[in-house]
Amino acid sequence: MTEYLTCDDGTIAYEVTGKGPLVVLAPGIGNNRDAYRFVTPRLVEAGYRVAVVDLRGCGESSAQWPSYTRTDIAGDLIAVIRRLGGPAVLVGHSISGGAATIAAAQAPDLVTGIVELAPFTRKQTFKPGDLRVGRYRKGMLRLIGTMLGSLASWKSYLDIAYPGTKPADWTADLARIDAMLREPGRMKALQKMAQAAPADAGAQLPNVRCPALIVEGSLDPDWADPQAEGEAIVAAMPAGTARLTMIEGTGHYPHVQHPDEVVSLVIAFLQANARA
């Protein structure tokens, strides 16, 4: 059942299932809480209370907001955790990985650990040789089209972001995403999120004190060298705070493309860091 949290500028939709220590899952841009459809049931079965959130602008949350930065999203996630009694382990994908960084730094009493899946959580740098990497070049061109408001570019990007074998429900899921983004205001929200720079999250990396797990896919088109990106995130946090795990053959959506590996990693992390 969908529940709603009323904020100053709109409502945030979320769904809670299971009993046990609290885990909050936040998807990336252009998606809703169905992004965790292969993860949520397994975490519930493992004994956790799982809240899956629709980001501002997405799913059943309000479409139109004054802004869509990682700091804004972090505030929404903190508010959900507080509503649910906290504390929680926060799992964030892509833009929500950056938001998880900020939430952990700003609300250490409410966030006992963070898992960042393919996170955009620091200022991006580009080297001339990066464009020689085909998947990165193709992905970047399509993300630029998305920043300009093209739904076709976003759908083309998704095809690249899932290299190799697609999920069994790929066609239905793509249709779901297409339908959501055709709702009034949804594509504009995606466009604004894609344009939002991650510098606010990067500035908070040194302030994270809770344990952190960074998960990168080896074939993620968002970086020419995903492992180097993950290592840089770990290095920017206080020593001993974070560790990096690479998943071979995975693109930008490891939790959808290789959910078994992601669930195993998350459960091991929860066993060490979740609190009732």
Q: What is the pLDDT of residues 177-232, one digit of tens each?
A: 999 999 999 999 999 999 999 999 999 999 999 999 999 999 999 999 999 999 99
pLDDT of residue 274: 85
Range of the domain at 263: 2-273
Residue 58 pLDDT? 97
Check whether 276 has a pLDDT greater than 80: no
Domain of 191, CATH number, reads 3.40.50.1820
* pLDDT at residue 23, as a whole number: 98
For residue 223, give the DSSP letter.
Answer: -
Q: DSSP letter at 65? A: -
Q: What does the pLDDT look like over 264-275, one tens digit per residue?
A: 999 999 999 988
Residue 261 scores a pLDDT above 90: yes
The H or E element containing residue 80 is: helix 70-83
CA-derived radius of gyration, the chain: 17
* High-pLDDT (> 70) share of the chain, %: 100
Cα(89)–Cα(110) distance, integer angstroms: 9
* Token digits of residue 263: 């669930």
In contact, 210 and 241? CB cutoff 8 Å: yes
Q: Phi then psi for 161, rounded to 5 degrees?
A: -70, -15
In a 13 Å sphere around the CA of 22, the CA atoms on its Cβ side amount to 21
Q: Using 50, 70 and 90 to split pLDDT, how confident is the model at 75? A: very high
pLDDT band of 116, cuts 50, 70, 90: very high
Residue 173: what pLDDT?
96
What pLDDT was estimated at residue 128?
80
Which long-range contacts (C-beta less than 8 Å, at least 24 apart) are formed by 123-126? 123/197, 123/198, 123/199, 123/202, 124/198
Spatial distance between the Cα atoms of 105 and 242, rounded to a whole number of angstroms: 14
Backbone angle region of 138, left / alpha / beta, with phi > 0 → left and psi within -120 to 50 → alpha: alpha
Q: Number of folded domains in the chain? A: 1
Helix axes 95-106, 70-83, angle to 10 degrees: 60
What is the full DSSP assignment across 19-46? Answer: SSSEEEEE--TT--GGGGTTTHHHHHHT
pLDDT value, residue 275:
87
Tokens of 183: 């709702």
* 3-state SS class at 251: coil
pLDDT tens-digit readout, 127-146:
888 889 999 999 999 999 99
Q: Give yes or no for a contact between 14 and 62, defined as CB atoms under 8 angstroms apart.
A: no
Q: What is the 3-state secondary structure (H, E, C) of 177-214?
A: HHHHHCCCCHHHHHHHHHHCCCHHHHCCHHHCCCCEEE
Q: Residue 127's pLDDT is what? A: 82
Q: What single-letter DSSP state applies at residue 235?
A: H
- Looking at every residue in the chain, the average pLDDT score rounds to 96
Query: What pLDDT is attached to residue 260?
Result: 97
| Chain segment 9-22, per-residue pLDDT in tens | 999 999 999 999 99
Q: How confident is the model at residue 89 (pLDDT cuts 50, 70, 90)?
A: very high
Lowest mean pLDDT among 105-109, 131-135, 156-160, 261-265: 131-135
Q: Does residue 119 register a pLDDT over 90?
A: yes
Pair of tokens at residue 134: 């085909």
